[in-house]
Amino acid sequence: MNNLLRWGILSTARINRRIIPPIREDSRSELIGVGGRNQTRTGKFADRWKIDRRYASYEALLSDPEINTVYIPLPNSMHCEWVIRAAQAGKNILCEKPLGLSVEEIDQMVAAARENGVVLLEAMAYRMHPQYAGLRELLNNDLIGKIRLIRAQFSFTLPDGDGNIRWSKELGGGVLLDVGCYPISFARGVAGSLPVGVSASQVIGPTGVDVISASQLLFPGGLIAELDCSFVLPFGVRAEVVGERGVLRIPNPWQPDIDGKSSGL
Whether residues 95 and 195 fall in one domain:
no
* pLDDT for residue 252 is more than 60: yes
Question: 52 in a domain, yes or no?
Answer: yes
140: left (phi over 0), alpha (psi -120 to 50) or beta: alpha
Question: 81 in a domain, yes or no?
Answer: yes
For residues 230 and 175, the answer to whether their CB atoms sit within 8 Å is: yes
Q: How far is CA 88 from the centre of its chain?
A: 22
Mean pLDDT confidence for 188-207: 97
For residues 127 and 185, the answer to whether their CB atoms sit within 8 Å is: yes
Domain end residue (candidates: 74, 99, 123): 123
Question: 230 in a domain, yes or no?
Answer: yes
Whether residues 139 and 212 fall in one domain:
yes
For residues 178 and 254, the answer to whether their CB atoms sit within 8 Å is: no
Whether residues 130 and 119 fall in one domain:
no
Question: 259 in a domain, yes or no?
Answer: no
Provide the domain count of the chain. Answer: 2
Task: Name the residue range of residue 179's domain.
Answer: 126-249
Could you report the per-residue pLDDT of 142-181, keeping only the tens digit for each? 999 999 999 999 999 999 866 899 999 999 999 999 999 9
Whether residues 21 and 112 fall in one domain:
yes
Whether residues 162 and 57 fall in one domain:
no
Could you report the per-residue pLDDT of 107-150, keeping only the tens digit for each? 999 999 999 999 999 999 999 999 999 999 999 999 999 999 99
- CATH code at 57? 3.40.50.720
Q: Considering the entire predicted model, what is its pTM?
A: 0.91
Which pLDDT score, from 0 to 100, does residue 222 have?
96
Whether residues 110 and 200 fall in one domain:
no
Question: 200 in a domain, yes or no?
Answer: yes
Mean pLDDT confidence for 27-51: 97
Whether residues 14 and 104 fall in one domain:
yes
Mean pLDDT confidence for 253-263: 69
Q: How far is CA 69 from the centre of its chain?
A: 17
Question: 257 in a domain, yes or no?
Answer: no
Which pLDDT score, from 0 to 100, does residue 163 have?
80
Active site residues: 97
Mean pLDDT confidence for 234-259: 92
For residues 205 and 159, the answer to whether their CB atoms sit within 8 Å is: no
Whether residues 88 and 22 fall in one domain:
yes
* pLDDT band of 3, cuts 50, 70, 90: confident
Whether residues 111 and 177 fall in one domain:
no
Whether residues 132 and 241 fall in one domain:
yes
For residues 35 and 8, the answer to whether their CB atoms sit within 8 Å is: yes
